Amino acid sequence: MLRVLKNLAFWVVLAIVLGIFVGYTFPQIGIDSKFGIDYFIMILKWMVGPIIFLTIISGIVGLDSLKDLGSIGLKGFIYFEVVSTIALAMGIFASLLLAPGVGMHLDANSFNTSSVEKFSGASKDVGSIWSILANAVPKTPLLPYDDLNTLSGFGFMIGMLKNTLLALSIVITPFIKANTLQVLFMALFLAIVLSFAPKKIKDFFINPIEKAQNWVLKTLSIFMWLSPLAAYCAMAYLIGKFGIESLIGMLSLLGTMLVSCLVFIFVVLGVICYAVKVNIFKFMRFIAKEVLVVFATSSSEVALAPLMKKLESAGIHKGCVGVITPFGYSFNLDCTNIYLSACVIFLAQAFDIELSFSHLLSILLILMVTSKGAVGVTGSGFVVLAGTLGSMHDVIPVVAVTVLLGVDKFMSEMRAVGNLCGNAVACLIVGIWDKKIDRQKFNYAINHPDEFDFEKLKAKA
């Protein structure tokens, strides 16, 4: 009994149940609980940036050569493209097979376009290479500054100081705002520069970087014990705000999404793991606690650092973990892809719009491009959906995404969990493919998952 009470997963499950009960029975209390999850995710997002930054630098510099980085990156890119395309096709197939929107007979003219204006307006550059590259470069200061070009004389010194603060502000902003793509860009740039440096200079920088990484991970392990409170607040708010009724009203779509994600994880990823002689069920048990925390909070970022530490401790080279896992969170959003393609077909069915085979093919091709627009974009689900519908030349009206506003929060748990599982498997497969894994250590880890809990790993460090 004492062992159960010390288990973080037990308290998370208990908090989820309590949150659902409070949200359903006392909806206002549930809605007022939102601040708890907001602050928890905010703190965790502040820590994700430094962890990614430090892990990528120590991982890449720890590789034998930049050739290894290129090899890992190329294999990761190939894997991401193939598997994310399979996920898109799965979403289309699942919605066609289960037909969640058939019989709803919705009318686009009855919806208020103002509710989706912010999404459709932001969707113009979704998926463009230029948009993704532009988002990768830090350029937004944390605090606004006046125009400094007019300063002269003594004011010039003040101007230099302000310029310095401005530059620091631009560098710090991606960490505060948890802009993973911009953190990745800065970490890659610095890691590649350090890779060309002499060994003495490398050691001078790497030793404090590894110490800082260890300190941040230890701090994170303490905050992770607040995850039951965050789980309660998230569930209480979700049920209190949107109600069980919204779940029932869109049960067919939620069911389609759930079935698609489960099939993807245990069949598609299962087959991929089977091909490299890894049992998907054992691997899912190995990352079960991270999955549970992500499900409770609807944010895959909260488990990013524990997942990276766990995979590294299980025998996957830290260079592979440091590159593939963060990049996967930007470019390998498998269950977000399922969500996007399934919702496009669902909306066509709900609004009685008949789609030909050429339409289905164009949806797949368009989503292969627009789904990449989810990188570093706030409200990416609706932005990408709006961009996809707009690219189809109003075959399905953009205002149709209004239907999803109430239920999207419930689907976010499935997306977050599926993305976490997909990226964990991606890191494993690339590690095996590039021979950056200790198979004996990994096999021991997935057979003894309790010994590799994040809290225990940090206690040993």
> Per-block average pLDDT, block size 10, for the chain (461 residues)?
63 84 87 81 74 77 75 90 92 90 74 54 50 63 53 54 67 71 78 79 78 77 77 82 66 88 94 95 92 79 82 89 82 85 88 84 78 53 69 73 71 85 94 92 90 60 50
Calpha distance 443→451 (Å, rounded): 13
pTM: 0.76
pLDDT of residue 302: 74
Helix ranges (H only) for 298-333 are 304-313, 318-331
The backbone torsions φ and ψ at residue 316, rounded to the nearest 5 degrees and listed phi first, read -85, 135
The CA–CA distances, whole Å, from 57 to 61, 142, 326, 437 equal 6, 24, 12, 19
Calpha distance 459→461 (Å, rounded): 6
How many CB atoms are located within 10 Å of the residue 209 CB?
18
pLDDT of residue 260: 93
The backbone torsions φ and ψ at residue 337, rounded to the nearest 5 degrees and listed phi first, read -65, -40
Q: What are the tokens at 444?
A: 């021991």
